[in-house]
Amino acid sequence: MSSHLKISVGQYTGKGRKEINQDFHGVYIPKEPLLTSKGIAIALADGISSSDVSQIASKAAVTGFLEDYFCTSETWSVKKSARSVLTAINSWLHSQTQQSQHRYNKDKGYVCTLSAIILKSTTLHILHVGDSRIYRLRRNDKILEQLTEDHRHWITQDKSYLGRALGMNPQLEIDYQTQPVDKGDIFLLATDGVYEYANAKFIINAIHENKNDLDKAAKAVVEEAYDQGSTDNLTAQIIRVDELPLQDANEIYQQLTELPFPPILDARTTFDGYQIIREVHASSRSHIYLAVDNETNTQVIIKTPSIDLRDDPAYLERFLMEEWIARRITSPYVLKPCLQTQKRNYFYIVTEFIDGQTLTQWMIDHPKPDVETVRGIVEQIAKGLFAFHRMEMLHQDLRPENIMIDNTGTVKIIDFGSTRVAGLMELTTLIKQNNLLGTAQYTAPEYFLGESGTPRSDMFSVGVIAYQMLTGKLPYGTQVAKSRTKAAQRKLQYNSVLDDEREIPAWIDESIRKAVHPNPYKRYEELSEFLYDLRHPNKEFLNKTRPPLVERNPVVFWKSISFILAVIIVILLNK
């Protein structure tokens, strides 16, 4: 055995006798330290022929799995990482079908099979849903052993249907198993268009005859299936294990899951290849440091968990989830993680350094910004949120303290500890998390009713932030967090942004009023609609008259009434 895992790969795909190829496949072999901590991933997907968009599902499933698996925390097990990624992909595919014209016909939707293997240390991890297959051929063996079970139900000899697949249902049921790996083991991943027509004897001979060119072997297997009359798309992947590392998977996993918490770091301390410059922020939940990566000489931010919370599994789960979420999202308006090139010896997260200030500090420095400046900031926040929502994720803790503005004026969303990923049961809603205190004033009212959030919930937070930038106040004061029934929420009174000292168009006030409505179904359907109305007068709002003083400024209204009544009383007493 060597110190590293090494494999040889052969792949081939073709559309066969069909017009388009709905299969998709891929392999990802990372460099160290991910090669040791995460392993090598191989995946194959087969779209269903009844759907015209199934090839999109196949591509999204394979590329999403190969990219997102390596974004998960290195301290997660293979099973947890892979299942979390596939659950998120399944939710996304299902949502695409629900938003399409085929929402009531899953056979026309974004559906595909998936068979994937992860080779980590000396262990094979298999993930499978559908009827593509994974086989194993042992060294010097003449038997092609099927490792997966087809999720296909046969009605008659000629008629069947797919019982399970990615994107078919909102919940995913996926097979998972592990197998020990020996040097020389060969694994074949194939779609039904291949294995139903190319027999095992031919496949074994093709692999042995082309052992120095596995691409040629894969092509030979596909061509044999075609020659035998296959009418489907054809894809084959052949993986041979050439070298295995010394340690087994259990030993490595145990090392990673028992990584120690970092100590409190002082300036000029050398830590895991970083030079600590200074502490940026400290709280009961985490410590944040500015550091320099000694390898790239770039400034980074290191976030370490609080030692006091080392026995809180929910907190540690969210801490690790934050890193995965950051790695999945690509947007100039969202904090970017820094991938490590060195072995991690402690439990922490590394992200880009943003040279700027929080939106909280910005509002202190700019108490009366003009409307155009506010619009520009809100639009950038929204663009960052779009990146979350496209991935079926909700930020759930959007507030000025979690938004940075760098020295170029670019806005970036930070801190993903409360983010909910569609389909993952590990994440609870914001209301159930311990970090609700201090963020409640930006939290959508529906959370206080115990309801699940939607993109409209994030929109509420954006609306509150826009309101606060214009007024320095909150649209409902502190009453939202106290209103924990629908009846109480119906009584919430919106305080207009309009006053006699600021020139703010009434239609902007109305757009913000709609975005922060207590009832999520009375808000805008899409965040983009809110952004549009912030720049373009909505005819519906233009027809509205200026709100009465009692709505714009209740305190001034009642003071005026009291003054008038006092004057009347004085006049009556003097008669």
**Into how many domains does the chain fold?**
3
Do residues 50 and 108 touch, judged by C-beta distance below 8 A? yes
Do residues 441 and 481 touch, judged by C-beta distance below 8 A? yes
Structural tokens at position 146: 């099927």
Task: State residue 255's pLDDT score.
Answer: 46
Q: Provide the residue-wise pLDDT of the chain in tens; the chain has 575 residues.
A: 456 899 999 999 999 999 999 999 999 999 887 888 889 999 999 998 888 999 999 999 999 999 999 988 776 888 988 999 999 999 999 999 998 887 888 788 999 999 999 999 889 999 999 999 999 998 777 889 999 999 988 777 767 778 899 999 998 999 999 998 989 999 999 999 999 999 999 999 999 999 999 999 999 999 999 999 999 999 999 999 999 886 443 444 344 446 788 888 999 999 999 999 999 988 888 899 999 999 899 999 999 988 888 777 777 777 877 888 888 888 999 999 887 777 778 888 899 999 999 999 999 999 999 999 999 999 999 999 999 998 888 999 999 999 999 999 999 999 888 888 876 643 333 334 443 433 688 999 999 988 888 999 999 999 999 999 999 999 998 898 888 899 999 999 999 998 867 788 999 999 999 999 999 999 999 999 999 999 999 888 876 645 666 665 677 777 888 888 888 888 877 76
Q: Is 467 domain-assigned?
A: yes
- Say yes or no: 241 and 265 in one domain: no
- Say yes or no: 293 and 204 in one domain: no
- Say yes or no: 410 and 537 in one domain: yes
- Say yes or no: 241 and 366 in one domain: no
- Say yes or no: 291 and 360 in one domain: no
Do residues 169 and 118 touch, judged by C-beta distance below 8 A? no
Q: Is 490 domain-assigned?
A: yes
- Say yes or no: 248 and 101 in one domain: yes
Q: Is 558 domain-assigned?
A: no
Q: Is 560 domain-assigned?
A: no
The model's pTM is 0.66
Q: Is 557 domain-assigned?
A: no
Distance CA 386, CA 527 (A): 8
- Say yes or no: 303 and 367 in one domain: no
Rg (CA), the chain: 29
- Say yes or no: 410 and 444 in one domain: yes
Q: Is 308 domain-assigned?
A: yes
> 40-47 and 23-28: which strand pairing?
antiparallel
> 6-14 and 145-146: which strand pairing?
unpaired
CATH number of domain containing 465: 1.10.510.10
Q: Of 208, 237, 252, at which residue does a domain stop?
A: 252
- Say yes or no: 263 and 230 in one domain: no
- Say yes or no: 198 and 311 in one domain: no
Task: State residue 308's pLDDT score.
Answer: 81
Interior/surface letters 371-404, b for 16+ CB within 10 angstroms, e for the rest: beebbebbebbbbbbbbbbebbbbbbbbbbbbbb
Task: State residue 431's pLDDT score.
Answer: 39
Q: Of 237, 252, 267, at which residue does a domain stop?
A: 252
Q: How many CB atoms lie within 10 A of CB 299?
A: 16
**CA quadruple 551, 555, 557, 560: dihedral, nearest 10:** -170
CA of 246: how far to CAs of 4, 76, 179, 243, 252, in Å? 8, 21, 17, 10, 10
Q: Of 222, 252, 282, at which residue does a domain stop?
A: 252
Residue 349 forms beta bridges with which residues? 303
Task: State residue 240's pLDDT score.
Answer: 96
Query: 334: domain range?
Result: 259-352
- Say yes or no: 176 and 223 in one domain: yes
CATH number of domain containing 346: 3.30.200.20
CATH number of domain containing 66: 3.60.40.10
> Left, alpha or beta for 156 (phi > 0: left; psi -120 to 50: alpha)?
beta
Q: Is 567 domain-assigned?
A: no
Task: State residue 547's pLDDT score.
Answer: 60
Q: Is 554 domain-assigned?
A: no
- Say yes or no: 341 and 383 in one domain: no
Task: State residue 250's pLDDT score.
Answer: 45
